[in-house]
Structure 1
Amino acid sequence: MEIQSFAQLLIFSTFIGLVGWTITNQVGLTQLKIKTREDWLLDSTGLTIQGILIPLLQATLVYSLYQYLLPVQQGSLKISLVPTFIISFVIVDYLYYWNHRLLHTKLLWKVHQVHHTVTQMDVLGTSRNTLWTSLLIIYLWIHTLFIFLLADPTGYLLGVSLTSALDLWRHSRLIIPGNSRLYQLLSSWLILPQDHAWHHCSEIHNYNYGANLKIWDKLHRTYYESENLPSIIGITISLNLFQKLLFPFS
């Protein structure tokens, strides 16, 4: 229970901190002022789905599904804290890399395209998506599976919370200056906001799919590097609000 509370606190404090920074930053505040009502609705709905409904779904229906399918495996994996953290932060990160690439294929792009309608990197747009897109993201299923199987999921939950906090930061404009020591320390291995901004760039396609680690993009030659933010972010799609929320097909 304590680790779950810590995980929730880390994610919530990261979100509040980034929103606070956005409000006090002149560029960020300007971005908020020019957001349309549709943008606000899409973003707030996405945050509600991802921050409240998905965790509830994981804790109830998905967890119950694993209890039904694997009745004797609950708590059967006796792994210590560090390896379970590595599973969460590294191995699941690699699975997500391919999951994300799949969402960019012709087969699933229409389901994912709404996420790419954000026109500025903005922490509020982190979870902008069609309402049921989360069902196609492995986090919903694999996080619940490992929490179900692990005798002590403490390390795994730490990895989940850190990944979620980094996801919020990655979608913000709080970039680390390229001439700083912190940038030199992190830029070789961690996906930074400027890296993910290029993923959302309308001029550069099919790069920077990773969530936590750059190694997957570098390994599969999908990494694009720049210390700066792109000048143009986001795509325009000819869908109405109903389609964006529920039926993203035209």
Structure 2
Amino acid sequence: MLVFTVFVILLTLTVANDKKLTIFLIKNHEDWILDIVGLWFQGIIIPVFQITFVYQLYQFLLPNFQGVLKPHFLVGFVISFVCVDYLYYWNHRLFHSKWLWSIHQVHHTITSMDVLGTSRNTLWTSFFIIYLWIHSLFIYLLQDPSWYILGISLTSALDLWRHSKFSLPLNSFLYQWLSPWLILPLDHAWHHASQSIPGNYGANWKIWDRLHGTYHTSERAPCSLGIQSNFSLIQKLLSPF
């Protein structure tokens, strides 16, 4: 519910603040297909796949381990929001390597930061993201996964915000408070810059980029976003299969 609410709010604010509705005009039919299919696939198909196939896979492989972890509720949240975030940092860096760039480059064809493009990917990309497999695992292992799920929801909500056009004013208290810690929309915009800045791979925390020397900072937005791809629409949807 949190994720859906944030999506609706960001989309509503985007339309309300864009009197000429350029968000709709700058997208060609291919962009619309990629964004709508991506949102539908990652927002519905993948969660259903997690709840059914992946969760049942762990029941089959680890029949005696369901609910064996009984940590404090805050520990469950930290595992989800911090520890898994570090694993995703390396997962994301791997996407930018020569081995997986072919399936990740579709996400970088976004030419405008808007919430609709958050899930623009090939349909197979989700199966290479650790979230699909590790979230199901911890939900299976934890006796009470509610706070772990809260961490998942907060990560997803922040991901929608990161891909939106609503950056915080640099002189605002909230920006000064959050900027040292969280990857903000401006940080992620530089990850999508046409200049192909190699960095800002973190999802929630920028400490991982700072720790490994991949953090790029700037007080201005990049001049342009997105890369060109020679893929056809079918390739953008189904690569690498």
| TM-score category of the 2 structures, normalised to the smaller one | over 0.9
Letter in 1 for 2:12: G
Residue number in structure 2 paired with 1:188: 180
Residue number in structure 1 paired with 2:104: 112
- For residues 178 and 207 of structure 2, the distance between their equivalents in structure 1, rounded to whole angstroms, comes to 12
Within 5 Å, which residues of 2 pair with 1:43-122?
43-122=35-114
Question: How far did residue 227 of structure 1 move?
Answer: 2.5
- For residues 230 and 15 of structure 1, the distance between their equivalents in structure 2, rounded to whole angstroms, comes to 24
- For residues 191 and 72 of structure 2, the distance between their equivalents in structure 1, rounded to whole angstroms, comes to 35
Within 5 Å, which residues of 2 pair with 1:2-17?
9-17=1-9
- For residues 131 and 204 of structure 1, the distance between their equivalents in structure 2, rounded to whole angstroms, comes to 23
TM-score (norm 1): 0.94
Letter in 2 for 1:139: Y
2:212 pairs with one of 217, 220, 223: 220
Residue 145 in structure 1 maps to residue 137 in structure 2: yes
Residue number in structure 2 paired with 1:155: 147
- For residues 210 and 20 of structure 2, the distance between their equivalents in structure 1, rounded to whole angstroms, comes to 31
Question: How far did residue 231 of structure 1 move?
Answer: 1.1
Question: How far did residue 205 of structure 1 move?
Answer: 2.1
- For residues 107 and 91 of structure 2, the distance between their equivalents in structure 1, rounded to whole angstroms, comes to 15
Question: After superposition, what is the alpha-carbon deviation per residue over 1:164-190, rounded to whole angstroms, capped at 9, x for unaligned?
Answer: 000000000010010111110100001
- Aligned residues: CA RMSD: 1.2
Question: After superposition, what is the alpha-carbon deviation per residue over 1:91-129, rounded to whole angstroms, capped at 9, x for unaligned?
Answer: 000000000000000011001010000001111000000
Letter in 2 for 1:54: I
Runs of 4+ off more than 2 Å: 26-29
Letter in 1 for 2:98: K
Assess if the C-alpha contact under 8 Å between 2:124 and 2:240 holds in 1: no
Residue number in structure 2 paired with 1:4: none
- For residues 205 and 231 of structure 1, the distance between their equivalents in structure 2, rounded to whole angstroms, comes to 12
- For residues 27 and 46 of structure 2, the distance between their equivalents in structure 1, rounded to whole angstroms, comes to 25
- For residues 27 and 168 of structure 1, the distance between their equivalents in structure 2, rounded to whole angstroms, comes to 21
- For residues 51 and 189 of structure 1, the distance between their equivalents in structure 2, rounded to whole angstroms, comes to 27
Letter in 1 for 2:177: L
Residue number in structure 2 paired with 1:34: 26
Letter in 1 for 2:221: L
2:165 pairs with one of 162, 173, 194: 173
- Taking a change above 3 Å as real, the CA distance of residues 141 and 32 of structure 1, as seen in their structure-2 partners, is same
Question: How far did residue 80 of structure 1 move?
Answer: 1.6
- For residues 20 and 131 of structure 2, the distance between their equivalents in structure 1, rounded to whole angstroms, comes to 29
Structure 2 gaps of 5+ residues are none
Letter in 1 for 2:7: F
Question: How far did residue 247 of structure 1 move?
Answer: 2.5
- For residues 157 and 29 of structure 1, the distance between their equivalents in structure 2, rounded to whole angstroms, comes to 35
- For residues 70 and 216 of structure 2, the distance between their equivalents in structure 1, rounded to whole angstroms, comes to 39
Question: How far did residue 34 of structure 1 move?
Answer: 1.6
Letter in 1 for 2:82: V
Question: How far did residue 204 of structure 1 move?
Answer: 3.9
- For residues 85 and 19 of structure 2, the distance between their equivalents in structure 1, rounded to whole angstroms, comes to 31
Per mean C-alpha deviation after superposition, the further-off stretch among 19-28 and 99-108 is 19-28
- For residues 19 and 148 of structure 2, the distance between their equivalents in structure 1, rounded to whole angstroms, comes to 36
